[in-house]
Amino acid sequence: MTTRDDAPAPLDPAPEPHTGLMGRFRNYFLTGLVVTGPIAITLYLVWWFVTWVDGVVRPFVPLAYRPETYLPYGVPGWGLIVAFFSLTLVGFLAANLIGRTLVDVGETFLGRIPAVRAIYRGLKQVFETLFSGKGSSFRKVGLVEFPSPGMWSIVLISQSPSEDIARSLPAQEEHVSVFLPCSPNPTTGFFFYVPKSKIIEVDLSAEDAATLIMSAGVVQPGSALDPKKAAALAGMANAARIANASSLKPEPAKVE
């Protein structure tokens, strides 16, 4: 049996990357950071909130009712417990006839102060919308073509504009008020009115949208919009935009 001398030698398999001591140390460190980082930040935020409430409530609690008066150390969360029962008591009293009367008197007094009146009414409407369940409270998430054609941003869909604002908006199409959060801080952003046909509603919760914005797209939610549906809706929106733009162009003058 003969063999050819010029036959190519069999290729050796690619060597597996060798993980040294520093590589293993790096992997262990990153794994520990991923495991403990969210827990540590969550505990820190909870602790900050509890201590902040304690600091706000403590001056209003008499010294005789403070735990540190009888203990060599303070009790974290005592102010939070006092605030919880105090707010519950205020709500119970406000639900009665006497409580409603006192609330009406207080609102009448605040309504006569020009600077305070606008602030109080605005904050009251926000709190009633968020905690009474009567408003939308950003329950829907959508996509809007912003800041330029072909670029889409996530918005939180709010309520429809009032009748006065709706009459002032151009065209006859129904508009919707939306809030566009900024990344990575979703508490800041832009508020504007958008035609309802220009919004692509997505099957996404407000919490998942906030996570997506805060992570700048790093954390992608599992229940996102179907790409085919998004492409179809985006095509319809682009076609409508082109049609609207062409309708605004002046017709060329006829030469006789």
**202 in Cβ contact with 224 (< 8 Å):** yes
Walk along the chain (256 residues) in steps of 10 and give the mean pLDDT of each run: 51 54 86 88 91 89 85 85 89 80 82 80 72 62 86 86 80 83 83 86 84 80 56 61 57 52
pTM of the model: 0.54
pLDDT value of residue 23: 83
pLDDT value of residue 251: 53
The structure tokens 């007094």 sit at: 109
- Kindly give, in sequence order, each residue whose CB lies less than 8 Å from that of residue 175, ignoring residues fewer than 6 positions away: 160, 161, 166, 169, 193, 194, 195, 196
> Between the CA of residue 11 and those of 14, 15, 132, what are the distances in Å?
9, 12, 71
- Burial label for 77, CB within 10 Å (0-12, 13-18, 19+), is middle
- CA-based nearest residue to 125, from 109, 107, 113, 143: 107
pLDDT value of residue 240: 59
- Kindly give, in sequence order, each residue whose CB lies less than 8 Å from that of residue 71, ignoring residues fewer than 6 positions away: none
Radius of gyration (Cα) for the chain, nearest Å? Answer: 30
